[in-house]
Structure 1
Amino acid sequence: MTHRFDPTSLREYDIRGIVGKTLGPADADAIGRGFATLLRRAGGTRVAVGRDGRASSPALEAALVEGLAACGIDVVRVGLGPTPMLYYAEATLEVDGGIQITGSHNPAEYNGFKMVFQHRPFFGDDIQTLGTMAAEGDWDIADAPGTVTDADIEDDYVGRLMAGYAGGAYRIGWDAGNGASGPVIEKLVKLLPGEHHLLFTDVDGNFPNHHPDPTEEKNLADLKALVAEKQLDFGLAFDGDGDRIGAIDGQGRVIWGDQLLSILAEPVLKEHPGATIIADVKASQALYDRIAQLGGEPLMWKTGHSLIKTKMKETGAPLAGEMSGHIFFAHDYYGFDDAQYAAVRLIRAVHMIGKSMTQLRSDMPAMVNTPEMRFQVDESRKFAVIDEVLDRLEAEGADVNRTDGARVNTADGWWLLRASNTQDVLVARAEARDQAGLDRLMAMIDAQLAASRLERGPQAGH
């Protein structure tokens, strides 16, 4: 028996595709067999499996579980919930790995798999290995299949989110976007002090109200309306599988991922002076300056949740975050990205700093920046273009950070051009102190693209 995956589905950080076109139950079965075989060869015996609220998730779960059991692995199904609840299961139950079936923040027709192998992220070459094993039928089918049991861990997980909570009572709006976080948030707010107003906590894989990606400002419209109508202190929003957070202040202004990190870092650095705080290359210079000002050691690292988690373990950083709203706490927590936990820690941070969320947002330096710009480029060219850009910048003697693509510092601010690890797109971003400076930075990006025979075409979707 062999299996061939659609090559577009085996991505850098996870496996993802369009159900019925590039992903289906046969893929789920093959993932189960490959993962189980690798785990047994490494001495493992049990895997936790969770799923999000998409219509296709139960069928993919059934096939995945069948594949895992066929190769002799015992499966613990934790059921419907956010991805961090599966990560929590993997960290706390007696299991050797975990797999969440989720399309993350993609549209409803997508689904996929996020994996943890013996408490470390399973990504990059690991995922390619599953493809090779399937093509060769390199699976260890067991004489006796593994057992399948169910574990209800939702209450334990919510209890863990609240453990050690020491925050004030605020009036907060919560938008779960019909994603997998809804039931957890309903239970969480019953335990939190204050007044809580909930939007779209019923899980619906068709996302009838708005797309659950809190990094796109248009998806925060309902939350802004709620905060304005009820005159709430602030609002929190979650992506489809609950591993990314969005926030707005009492005036409806967005608090972006790097700005959230600057708030969350303050109490952490009070407890751990001089600690390393990691952010990705898309984060504002204002964040790195703020971490240093608070006595921390700012570290710029590559974009991608698996890469950040790996770097945190290596450096012992208590906190990390990405522009995309992934926030990772190793301080008093497990080091994985958890939007529900980030929400609890954010409420606590606001309380400990002693200013309102609106004041904290107002205190931040005013920067003019672009959103993340993404444009299509041929897959075979995307990394080559970045190499060409780096060579030209080097020849010009520019101030370049090569951590992930090219991040160039100038007197006006900085600009970034990097290749996406997950799609055939280039990603650009720029930040300056004023619009004239931003225009000069954008002209530099356009000049580099032109020199590689490209232009900033129409924006590519996620």
Structure 2
Amino acid sequence: MTPLPPLTCFKAYDIRGRLGDELNEEIAYRIGRAFAEVMGASRVVLGRDVRPTSEALASAVARGLMAAGVEVLDLGLSGTEETYFATTHLGADGGICVTASHNPMDYNGMKMVQAGSAPIGAADGMDAIKALAERGDFAAEVPGGHVTDASGTRAAYVAKLMEFVDISALTPLKVLVNAGHGAAGPSFDALADAMAQAGAPIEFIRVYHDPDGSFPAGIPNPLLDENQHLTAAPVKDHGADMGVAWDGDFDRCFFFDHEGGFVPGEYVVGLLAEAFLAKEPGQKIIHDPRVVWATQEVVAQMGGEAIQSKCGHSFIKQAMRETGAVYGGEMSAHHYFRDFMACDSGMIPMLLMIELVCRRGESLKALLAERRAAYPSSGEVNFRVGDQKAVIAAIEAEYGPKAETRDETDGLSLSFGDWRFNLRASNTEPLLRLNIEARGKPDLVAAKLAEMRALIEA
């Protein structure tokens, strides 16, 4: 078999590529074959999102797995976190979810885990899977490969989610949910039914709810400013107490207050840390290095231990497993839970936030007000530059000598007492990502952002 040219769809954390040349059914078949051989798998969970190409790509992955004698445990349309759950729940040797999440329409991809729902890094399988898929020199086909319908696993998944919420603590609340026509709708419906049966006094209002791979409301990526009105406006129209929106495979969860205001991810991390530490004092909390002061303060106030990790799901999950942290959060809206295989979930944060608002008896906006005032931040600002290393070196030369502390956990973090910044190269795109925060001085954030923008763009 003629080897494929280098597979550019393999990224730092997962597989993602442009349809046709970077990812197609032939490549998907080879990835399935390679996954089975490298991981020594006999049973593999397979899920897929709602994109028009996902079913065909998943079928190709299944053919590759079956050619290696694998039993394919097929979840059908599902979220990435359901693949993570089912891999552990069913005792499988690995899991693959065919999804492009929030990428453009002409893309698709895969997220993969090994036994125990642990991430697959470069050293423990990803590089070998890529190399074998490129070579195509697979072992002889193994008889016995077949597909088993595993869609019934959703009931157990919902039961697991329900462990994260104390129904008795809930008070009447109106919550608007926006599935973005992605995969979240059916999974959410199963969870909402379970909550209703348990007596939860929560009224859910659904918008853009039915799965539709043509995405008539646009690609579901609530992090983008231009998409936030799709949740903000109906929150206000319906008089909801809060809004929740998911991306395409619902492993990310975004919040809106009762006025339709978007809640930046770094403040969500602090609130979820508070939710856990109120129940389990002294626990460890993982956070990324981009915006840290608000999270570190609440963890310290509640007697927890804040631990910093590199950005990205494989690094956070590794830190979670190594430290036994109860919760880990990234400002990008990925949230990880010790009692959910140390994996990320977009449904669990919703449950925790609903319970926290009910317990505190305050609006989501009120819960955030003090923290946002104490630690204003710029939000993540992206720059497309020709030479990332040269720009970072120039910034370091300008600011490094003046810094009180420096940290290189992920990119360059410099602190100057009343303000700090983190500048890092994206792991998935040709971008530099800048975050600035200050102690109670929003004008200082704005001034430093303008100053640094001028340097970077020069």
Q: TM-score, normalised by structure 2?
A: 0.91
Give the count of matched residue pairs. Answer: 445
1:62 aligns with 2:59: yes
The equivalent of 1:347 in structure 2 is 354
Partner of residue 236 from structure 1, selected from 230, 235, 244: 244
Tell me whether 251-260 or 199-208 shows the greater mean CA deviation: 251-260
Is 2:291–2:422's contact at 8 Å kept on the other side of the alignment? no
Q: Deviations over 1:193-235 (max 9, x none)?
A: 2211001111111211133112223322122122212211111
SS of aligned partner of 1:254: coil
The equivalent of 1:20 in structure 2 is 20
TM superposition outliers: structure 1 runs of 4+ over 6 Å? none
Partner of residue 449 from structure 2, selected from 431, 442, 455: 442
The equivalent of 1:358 in structure 2 is 365
What residue identity is the alignment partner of 2:352? Answer: R
Partner of residue 336 from structure 1, selected from 339, 343, 366: 343
SS of aligned partner of 1:54: coil
Task: Give the unaligned 5+ runs of structure 1.
Answer: 450-454, 457-462
The equivalent of 2:140 in structure 1 is 141
The equivalent of 1:407 in structure 2 is 413
Is 1:90–1:96's contact at 8 Å kept on the other side of the alignment? yes
What residue identity is the alignment partner of 1:184? Answer: S
Is 2:267–2:372's contact at 8 Å kept on the other side of the alignment? no
Q: C-alpha distance in 1, partners of 2:345/2:92?
A: 20
Q: CA offset at residue 164 of structure 1?
A: 5.7
1:87 aligns with 2:90: no
SS of aligned partner of 2:191: helix
Q: C-alpha distance in 2, partners of 1:391/1:398?
A: 14
Is 1:85–1:157's contact at 8 Å kept on the other side of the alignment? yes
The equivalent of 1:452 in structure 2 is none
Taking the TM superposition and a 5 Å limit, the aligned residue runs for 1:32-43 are: 32-40=32-40
1:369 aligns with 2:364: no
1:185 aligns with 2:188: yes
SS of aligned partner of 1:77: strand
Q: Deviations over 1:270-326 (max 9, x none)?
A: 333222111112234212212111211112221111111111101110001111111
The equivalent of 1:9 in structure 2 is 9
Tell me whether 2-11 or 305-314 shows the greater mean CA deviation: 2-11
Task: Give the unaligned 5+ runs of structure 2.
Answer: none
Q: CA offset at residue 247 of structure 1?
A: 0.4
Taking the TM superposition and a 5 Å limit, the aligned residue runs for 1:305-316 are: 305-316=313-324
Q: C-alpha distance in 2, partners of 1:397/1:165?
A: 43
Q: CA offset at residue 350 of structure 1?
A: 2.3
Q: C-alpha distance in 2, partners of 1:251/1:347?
A: 16
Partner of residue 111 from structure 2, selected from 95, 109, 114: 114
Q: TM-score, normalised by structure 1?
A: 0.90
Taking the TM superposition and a 5 Å limit, the aligned residue runs for 1:277-292 are: 277-292=285-300
Tell me whether 411-420 or 186-195 shows the greater mean CA deviation: 186-195
Q: CA offset at residue 401 of structure 1?
A: 1.2
How big is the alpha-carbon RMSD for the aligned residues of Structure 1 and Structure 2? 2.2
Check 1:292–1:6 CA distance in 2 against 1; reply closer, same or farther (3 A cut).
same
Check 1:2–1:295 CA distance in 2 against 1; reply closer, same or farther (3 A cut).
farther
SS of aligned partner of 2:372: coil
Q: Identity percentage over the alignment?
A: 35
Q: C-alpha distance in 2, partners of 1:29/1:410?
A: 52
Q: CA offset at residue 182 of structure 1?
A: 1.0
Taking the TM superposition and a 5 Å limit, the aligned residue runs for 1:188-207 are: 188-192=191-195, 193=200, 194-207=202-215
